[in-house]
Amino acid sequence: MRFVARIVVGVIGAVLCTVPCSAFGQTSGAQKAVVVTGASSGIGRKITERLAANGFFVYAGARAPKDLDELNAIKNVQGVRLDVTSASDIAAAVTLVSKAGRGLYGVVNNAGVVVVAPMIEVEEKDLDFIFQVNMYGPYRITKAFAPMLLESKGRVVNISSLNGIVASPMIGAYSMSKHAVEAYGDALAGELGRFGVRVSLIEPGNYGTEIGRNLLARMDTAVVKGSRFETQLRSTINSMRQFENNPPPDDVADAVLDAFTNENPKMRYLVVPVANQGAIAIRKLMDEIVQLNSDHKFSYSRDTLVKMLDDALARSKRR
């Protein structure tokens, strides 16, 4: 028996603005414009509100007319019909932003979905579904708006996830898509940096969102019975039921604001509500270093590895 659930979500992470945020949002008297995908609720909505409150004009992507009406009611926000899997929606959004005459300073690729299923039971169509949104979505949006971003020497912010670093059972498809977002962000940063466009990745931990409620609304829990992984699946579902009890995702909006306003934005913002979530990610990366360095003819000594870490820390302080 296969278990699959699809959920539209926003993802999270944050660092507080390092200078008074009210000082930004204007360049030579012009209001900076930003496109935010998946802005109807949760993290995307919080990002939209935070940027708009700090002087940016936000083209807030959503699909439902009710959500668009609510977004239009916010000062400095214009709701835009935008499904990141729809070529016609994306083309119309580019036309709208181009004709508005504000230019475009940045894009926040926030729209995302989750597929919950064991890797040996998930169906190919569901992998295609999650990659169409989580990976091809940022690719499509950034490519479509690239001429405007190059002209403004602007910013691209990709909302990744802690699961872009740590792959977890039962949400392996989601982790796969977010690992892809990590690679995409690295490649994009290397390519666009020479044109003055800065790229940031935000890797959030577990913040309170509607992910659990959406999961339960979209799935038939009866399909769990009979799975080889029934016990693990039920545990995952129970965790999802409690997801809204996590801290609110205000930090994500602060991280995005910093990525747009800091003269030297970070490439990565690992933002977690509790210390152990950050430790999991850092320890995972260290474990991978040890695995890659183990038992081959070019392995480094411990002293060399420590010096490499010291050098990397020194470089980060100079940036």
What are the catalytic residues?
Answer: 174
| Cα separation values, 4 from 53, 169, 233, 244, 315, Å | 38, 14, 10, 21, 44
CA 6 and chain centroid, separation: 17
Report the C-alpha gap between 65 and 71 in whole angstroms: 10
**Considering only CA atoms, which of 186, 262, 260, 227 is closest in space to residue 18?**
262
Report how far apart, in Å, the C-alpha atoms of 1 and of each of 10, 119, 237, 284 are: 29, 13, 16, 32
CA distance 251 to 204: 9
Round to whole Å and give the CA distance between 314 and 319: 9
Distance CA 312, CA 310 (A): 5
Tokens read off for 275 = 């210390």
Name residue 316's beta-bridge partners.
Answer: none
Side-chain-side CA neighbours of 187 within 13 Å: the count stands at: 9
Q: How many CB atoms lie within 10 A of CB 128?
A: 11
Q: Which residue type, as a one-letter code, is found at position 221?
A: T
Q: How far apart, in whole angstroms, are the C-alpha atoms of residue 19 and residue 16?
A: 9
Among 7, 3, 18, 10, which Cα is nearest to 254's? 18
Helices 230-241 and 211-218 cross at an angle (nearest 10°) of 130
The single residue listed with the structure tokens 């900076």 is 32
